[in-house]
């Protein structure tokens, strides 16, 4: 008998009885982070979460708060020109800028990269995220946006463009919107790379990006410019 059959046979033989049904997770009737998610009627008697948005309140401020708590930062940008200016202001010494977005062209186009090893010298990576999650301060990135996945983690610094209207409230909302199997790689990125392994001291820039900057800008029509 091969390993697969042996394991499945052992599992079938040992599965506990009675079987436990799969619980339904509440769907669209979200009451929001502030008041709990409507799991049980008594949620309205639970304490509120300070700073969190109520039902129908805008999510963006909370997203920015949580992102900051995770070690990231965010700025508004009126248009592509403002975005480019902000990037130049924040990273004046960046030599190799590899961009996956037309709004902020860099010195290298990610589409031109043949092998991920080539990205080892990137000072600044620029990508766009299709989705932000407020409760986690996280942005969603897949192979579609990154083109070369390593751009996200080899860049010394990372700038992520995000449409401020594309922010959902909770991880439940996020998983409800994305199609996981559609991309070989997908990451919820919340802030820069971090560690607390040495005496619990939080350090940013452990292995991946040293900083994460979100520029709040809806997708612009092709801004022109090469690179």
Q: Which residues between 20 and 59 bind other proteins (CB under 8 A)?
A: 20-23, 25, 33, 35-37, 39-40, 43, 46-49, 52
DSSP-derived 3-state class of residue 7: helix
Task: Please list, in sequence order, all residues whose beta carbon lies within 8 angstroms of the beta carbon of residue 195, skipping any fewer than 6 positions away.
Answer: 202, 203, 206
Closest to other proteins by CB, 55 vs 180, is 180
- Nearest Cα neighbor of 116 from 150, 145, 143 is 150
Closest to other proteins by CB, 1 vs 221, is 1
- Is residue 13 close enough to count as binding other proteins by CB under 8 A? yes
Residue from 56, 115, 222, 226 binding other proteins (CB under 8 A): 115
Within positions 81 to 100, which residues make up the interface with other proteins, using CB under 8 A? none
- Nearest Cα neighbor of 150 from 175, 184, 106 is 184
Residue from 89, 93, 199, 221 binding other proteins (CB under 8 A): 199
- Is residue 187 close enough to count as binding other proteins by CB under 8 A? yes
Closest contact distance (angstroms) between CB of 223 and other proteins is: 26
DSSP category for residue 156: S
Closest to other proteins by CB, 21 vs 224, is 21
What does the alpha-carbon distance between residue 94 and residue 124 come to, in Å, rounded to a whole number?
A: 6
Closest contact distance (angstroms) between CB of 212 and other proteins is: 9
Closest to other proteins by CB, 124 vs 148, is 148
**Per-position b or e across 135-154, b if 16+ CB within 10 A of its CB:** bbbbbbbbeebbbbbbbbbb
Q: Is the sign of the CA dihedral 51, 52, 58, 60 positive or negative?
A: positive
Q: Tokens at residue 133, please?
A: 């999650």
| Contact present, 212 and 91 (Cβ < 8 Å) | no
Count, residues near other proteins per rule CB under 8 A: 86
Closest to other proteins by CB, 117 vs 218, is 117
Closest contact distance (angstroms) between CB of 123 and other proteins is: 14
Closest to other proteins by CB, 79 vs 121, is 121
Within positions 139 to 158, which residues make up the interface with other proteins, using CB under 8 A? 143, 148-150, 152-154
What does the alpha-carbon distance between residue 217 and residue 222 come to, in Å, rounded to a whole number?
A: 14
């Amino acid at each position: 008998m091969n390993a697969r059959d042996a394991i499945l046979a052992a599992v079938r033989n040992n599965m506990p009885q009675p079987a436990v049904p799969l619980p339904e997770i509440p769907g669209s009737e979200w009451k929001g982070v502030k008041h709990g998610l409507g799991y049980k009627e008594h949620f309205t008697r639970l304490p509120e979460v300070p700073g969190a948005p109520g039902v129908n309140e805008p999510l963006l401020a909370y997203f920015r708060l949580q992102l900051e708590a995770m070690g990231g930062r965010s700025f508004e940008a009126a248009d592509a020109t403002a975005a480019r200016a902000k990037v130049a202001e924040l990273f004046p010494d960046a030599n190799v800028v590899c961009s996956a977005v037309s709004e902020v062209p860099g010195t290298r186009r990610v589409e031109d990269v043949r092998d991920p090893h080539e990205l080892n010298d990137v000072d600044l990576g620029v990508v766009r995220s299709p989705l932000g999650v407020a409760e986690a301060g996280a942005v969603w990135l897949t192979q579609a946006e990154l083109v070369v996945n390593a751009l996200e983690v080899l860049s010394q610094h990372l700038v992520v463009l995000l449409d401020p209207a594309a922010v959902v409230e909770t991880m439940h909302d996020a998983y409800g919107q994305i199609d996981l199997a559609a991309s070989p790689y997908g990451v919820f990125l919340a802030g820069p790379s971090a560690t607390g392994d040495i005496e619990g001291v939080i350090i940013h820039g452990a292995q991946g990006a040293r900083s994460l900057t979100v520029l709040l800008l809806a997708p612009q029509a092709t801004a022109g410019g090469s690179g």
